[in-house]
A and B are shown apart, each in its own frame.
Chain A
């Protein structure tokens, strides 16, 4: 069914590992998604198309962009750990939140939880996280307080 095809396509773009599994085993996607034969064939062709690499790169670049823009200190402080953190974050949060401040804040909370669970980072990560979360919290608050809905003022009916 189309919704499953679309979901599978989006999941593949978000996960190079899923792409590898699908390439190795042409029946793999049929076991995970409710696909017609034609849809499964289409996905198999897509996952083996050279352009899939570009889809995956753009997905990652587009998801990194809000974090790089809004969390400059944390991204720098994570250094070599950034890549692994992003992989783990994107496994848990498969979809981008359309509000970049919310997206960035959930990454901060994710890092906080990882630290609380014992994951070891460089000493500069905690102060960088605090600094960026404070800045981001202010921006989030401002974006909250700008509410204005002219449509709500229109007469109903």
Chain B
């Protein structure tokens, strides 16, 4: 592994951070060029009136991330801001994310295009229990747009929104999901994180076929790809991050990746409780495939129209 972080225009392969990642990096340092970090896992959120303040940091994990960042790109990947929720932006959390960004210098920061926070929550930072689908219309676009502008002020780095996995499509919307993401790209410069497995999950549960979906996405908007595997559950297919990427998803991504000329990162996500099942050799084999995928991509030397 080189002793410097990859430069901003390099396409890198990496992992979503979890407690198993340091061991994987130790075993295969050259295969992990970036680490995607979830700020929400770097603190305990006790709520506004908590003794000693709301956010209590997990020092050991933070130190581990800092160590990764000496030689690897760091990417911020949040879940807590729930941008589509019809509630004000959580400024306290955004301030904490900005503090982490000051320490780690994220190359970009992504959030999910899903509703995780409920509007009338009974606890601070009240969770819906899972990521719920979003209404793709002008009203939601306006809510997200306002929050993205504030995030850009606070973070100063490129922002991305991730394609969700859904089980219940919302009917009669003004826009399709790709159209909505394309509007955010064209009007706000907010790029797209194409989670290939999420798109596959949505299709398996009645959504758009991945090839149709990917045909509609503005390829220039795509900065990062997520890969993962899931499970069958009572006739449905879930994004459990329990397995390596399914073969069909590899077919779709191999075909589409040369079109993503602004692609800068390919990330494998797995849930750490499944690490014993996946095995170190399984993760390493997946990372090697991701490097082969990266070799198929043809990123431009200069990023095109990114914010």
Contacts and interface: CB of A to CB of B under 8 A. Distances in A.
A73 interface: no
Contacts of A21: none
Given A46-B170, A146-B57, A151-B95, A2 B135 contact: yes
A55 interface: yes
A86 to B, nearest CB: 13
A49 interface: yes
Interface in B121-175: 121-123, 125-130, 132, 135, 139-140, 143, 166-172
A36 to B, nearest CB: 11
A10 B44 contact: no
Nearest to B129: A59
Contacts of A93: 122-123
B86 A63 contact: no
A3 B234 contact: no
B153 to A, nearest CB: 15
Contacts of B170: 42, 45-46
Contacts, number: 153
A38 interface: yes
B129 A148 contact: no
B171 A98 contact: no
Interface stretch (B46-54, B250-258, B291-299): B46-54
Given A99-B44, A144-B51, A57 B233 contact: yes
Interface string B189-200: 000000000000
Contacts of A41: 171-172
Interface of A: 1-7, 9-10, 13-14, 38, 41-42, 45-46, 49-55, 57-59, 62-63, 93-99, 101-102, 143-151, 154
Interface of B: 40, 44-47, 51-53, 55-59, 62, 80, 85-87, 95-96, 98-99, 102-103, 115, 118-123, 125-130, 132, 135, 139-140, 143, 166-172, 205-206, 233-236, 238
Nearest 5 interchain pairs by C-beta: A151-B99, A51-B167, A95-B126, A59-B129, A3-B86
